[in-house]
Structure 1
Amino acid sequence: MATVLVLTASPSITSRTSALGHHVGDELVLAGHDVRFLDLRRLPAQALLAADTSAPEISAAVQAVLAADGVVVATPIYKASYSGLLKVFLDLLPQRALEGKVVLPLATGGTVAHLLAIDYSLRPVLVSLGASHITTGRFVLDQHIDHTSGGPVLADESTRACIARTADAFRLALREVAGPVRSLAASA
């Protein structure tokens, strides 16, 4: 199965965005994928802001992106755009870091006014990093995410079904993109 990196880009310690990213990652684990999680807020701020790619934690984070077959990018939407934390991290990546990878953008926000932020602000940056296979992203309203009670993360059935369809499309794309690459590598 494919190796997937789930990037969560919320600066909050208790984060709906992180809960959503971990929910999708856990679903991918159940489907047999090797899933790693990278909560960007845990990276050392000084090294991150100074773009110090020689710092061990930053270097390891960049290498995790490069090694993955698929990347789930989960971000809160603030002022109609993805988080500054995500922007700082994406700026550290090599120009073609997402080339050949399947990418799933996920976003959370407090109002449907941010619904198109994935397509208008995040997708162009992902494309500039070489992503040519970006599956349909999903925006989830904060009110539909329960990140504190210990119950289901997705509070209502329609949101659970929507995220399940989104994750299924990502898994299918991983199979189509990562499967042939693994097959060729095995025959070499």
Structure 2
Amino acid sequence: MATVLTLSGNPARTSRTALPAEHTAAGLRSRGHRSHVLALRDLPAAPLLSANTHDTSLVRAVNLVAEADALVVATPIYKAAYSGLLKTFLDLLPQHAFTGKPVLPLATGGSPAHVLALDYALRPFLTVLGAQVTQGWFVLDRHITTAPDGAMTLDHDDELQLANVTDQFVRALPSRTLLTAA
């Protein structure tokens, strides 16, 4: 089974982007894959913004990317582009960090017009890193509801679409697991 790293690129603590990211990671685990979520907002800001590649937290995060067989990249769409936090982290990676790795892009946004950001902003950037980008998935923020206790839910139709995209991604995963160090 594959090791899949999910990069969650929303800078907010209460993140609508986190729900599909975590939902996808849980779905991959239920299929027998090892799946971890790295919330980029938890990385130290000063080393991240100064590109201090010697910072132990950043070294660990970059190593997780290198050790992963595949990635899920989740981001909110702001002004027709993926988050600056995601861009800042991805800029730390080597030029071909995603070479040979299937990558599933997930995005949330406030307008149907933001869906274009998957194909015109995020996909090209992931491709430059060498990713084998699978079909992406976009959901409107209003289709993710938050209960008074803070629990988030996804509209039924969107949940089915996410399951379909995840199934396609699973078919792209490598059949063998690389040895990784935690």
Q: Same fold (TM over 0.5)?
A: yes
Change (3 A) 1:100 1:150: same
Cα displacement (A) at 1:169: 0.4
Per the alignment, residue 35 of structure 2 pairs with: 35
Change (3 A) 1:12 1:94: same
Per the alignment, residue 97 of structure 1 pairs with: 97
1:159 partnered with 2:154? no
Per the alignment, residue 136 of structure 1 pairs with: 135
Per the alignment, residue 55 of structure 2 pairs with: 55
Cα displacement (A) at 1:115: 1.1
Cα displacement (A) at 1:151: 5.5
**Percent identity for Structure 1 against Structure 2:** 53
* Cα-to-partner distance string for 1:99-124 (whole Å, 9 max, x where unaligned): 01110000000110101101000011
* Cα-to-partner distance string for 1:167-186 (whole Å, 9 max, x where unaligned): 00001111xxx11xx3899x
Per the alignment, residue 64 of structure 2 pairs with: 64
| Distance across 1 between alignment mates of 2:38 and 2:178 | 29
| Distance across 2 between alignment mates of 1:62 and 1:106 | 20
Report SS of the residue matched to 1:153.
Answer: strand
Letter in 1 for 2:68: A
Report SS of the residue matched to 2:153.
Answer: coil
Structure 2: gaps of 5 or more residues: none
| Distance across 2 between alignment mates of 1:121 and 1:32 | 32
Per the alignment, residue 116 of structure 1 pairs with: 116
Change (3 A) 1:9 1:152: closer
Cα displacement (A) at 1:145: 1.3
Report which of the two has the higher share of helix.
1
Q: Do the aligned partners of 1:20 and 1:153 also contact (CA within 8 Å) in 2?
A: no
Q: Do the aligned partners of 1:15 and 1:147 also contact (CA within 8 Å) in 2?
A: no
Q: Do the aligned partners of 2:2 and 2:177 also contact (CA within 8 Å) in 1?
A: no
Change (3 A) 1:152 1:87: closer
Structure 1: gaps of 5 or more residues: none
Cα displacement (A) at 1:147: 4.4
CA RMSD of aligned residues (A): 1.6
Change (3 A) 1:83 1:45: same
Q: Do the aligned partners of 1:75 and 1:107 also contact (CA within 8 Å) in 2?
A: yes
Change (3 A) 1:151 1:109: same
Cα displacement (A) at 1:152: 6.1
